[in-house]
Amino acid sequence: MTAIADFRHRVTLQAADEVEDGAGGVTRTWQPLAEIWVAIEPISLDDKLIADRRLGVVTHRIRLRHRTDITLSHRFVLGLRVFAIRAFRDPDERGRLLECLVEEERP
């Protein structure tokens, strides 16, 4: 169970906004949706091979008060850290909390 004191990180919930760039592609920008208090817990450290380079991927669990507007196209931002939402659920199906499994993105 998550105690209210565990919600000690203030993050920005952002949504992707894609705009056509005029050359047949799109430009993605991120728009803030809300500032919310969350609990962040690291749950694993993994390696990912991208373009023949090993990159560390830190995966976290982020808990927050239940919201109905979160999707997999959203992300959380804490300072310079960015967490992409990979999955989410209502852990006790009572509409009190939302648990998001996220992947910390590297710049």
Residue 92 belongs to a domain with what CATH number? 2.40.10.270
Determine what percent of the chain falls in helix, strand and coil, rounding each to the nearest 5: 5, 70, 30
Structural domain boundaries, residue 70: 4-105
Fill in the DSSP letter of residue 51. T
3-state secondary structure of 6: helix
**Along the chain (107 residues), what's the average pLDDT of each consecutive run of 10 residues?**
83 94 89 98 75 70 96 97 95 95 86
**Alpha-carbon dihedral 97, 103, 104, 105, rounded to 10 degrees:** -130
Determine the pLDDT at residue 107: 66
Cβ neighbors of 43 (< 8 A, separation 6 or more) are: 59, 60, 61, 101
Domain total in the chain:
1
Structure tokens at 32: 């803030």
